Amino acid sequence: MQAGSPVNSSSESQAGSRMSVNWEIVFNHIDKDLLIKQLQELDLSKILNGKPFFKSYGKWSTLSSDQRAKAKVFWMDNIDENTRMDIQNSINVILANEEMDEVRKAICHNIANFS
């Protein structure tokens, strides 16, 4: 997912135009394998219905369409906005760290080939 969060302007705010995150768009663009892992690791106190996310779910690519729909419902309905933001931020950090690791590997490879 690219830096920044998808937002919608809302005229409902008394303070003028208020920006809110469109969590469906975030869901559509977030790394689903990392999302599943984050949802599985959530503390029950952060889950609105008190039921943990499905432990049997593995990689997104192996989930049925019904399982994918359930994951989306969980994301949209069973955690609050602050928890969704925390998860999104955690995934962004993981992806940034993975990208930095790839950059380091490329630099080391280039240095080794240059010598």
CB of 12 closer than 8 Å to CB of 28: no
pLDDT in tens, 30-69: 999 999 999 999 999 999 999 999 999 999 999 999 999 9
What does the pLDDT read at residue 20?
Answer: 84
CB of 78 closer than 8 Å to CB of 49: yes
**Closest C-alpha to 21, from 36, 4, 37, 35:** 4
For residue 101, tell me if it sits in a domain: yes
For residue 16, tell me if it sits in a domain: no
For residue 96, tell me if it sits in a domain: yes
Q: Domain range holding 108? A: 32-114
Can you tell me the mean pLDDT for 5-24?
A: 57
Strand-pairing partners, residue 8, are: 20
What does the pLDDT read at residue 115?
Answer: 63
Through-space distance between the first and last CA atoms of the chain, rounded to whole angstroms: 36
Residue scoring higher pLDDT (23 or 106):
23
Query: What's the mean per-residue pLDDT of the chain?
Result: 85
pTM of the entire structure?
0.72
Total domain count, the chain? 1
